[in-house]
Amino acid sequence: MASAKKYSAAAVLAAWLIIVAFFMVLNRALDLEVFFVLSLIGLLVVAVLIDGAFSRPRYMRYIGYLIAAGVALFAYIVVEKILEILAA
């Protein structure tokens, strides 16, 4: 049961990333920062949906590490954009 949930979560996340990339190419606005933020949002949604209420699978710990790294990178992007605005 848990492995089916894990694989369906990976498929949903992959579909989300393909949709985001498709619309970015369609809009001719390829921006790695926007893609990263939208993929982090997708990962957070998937992580909340697959997290069990009473048991926590081992792979959720690794997803937690990935989310922590993503949030740190997101904070770096935000600080970089703030400094860019202040420098102008």
Q: pLDDT digits over 55-64, tens only?
A: 777 777 788 8
Ramachandran assignment for 53, one of left (phi > 0), alpha (psi -120 to 50 degrees), beta (any other) = alpha
Q: What is the CA radius of gyration of the chain?
A: 16
pLDDT higher than threshold 80 for residue 43: yes
For the full predicted model, state whether its pTM sits above 0.85.
no
d(CA 60, CA 55): 10
For the CA atoms of 77, 34, 17, 66, what is the dihedral angle to 10 degrees?
Answer: 10
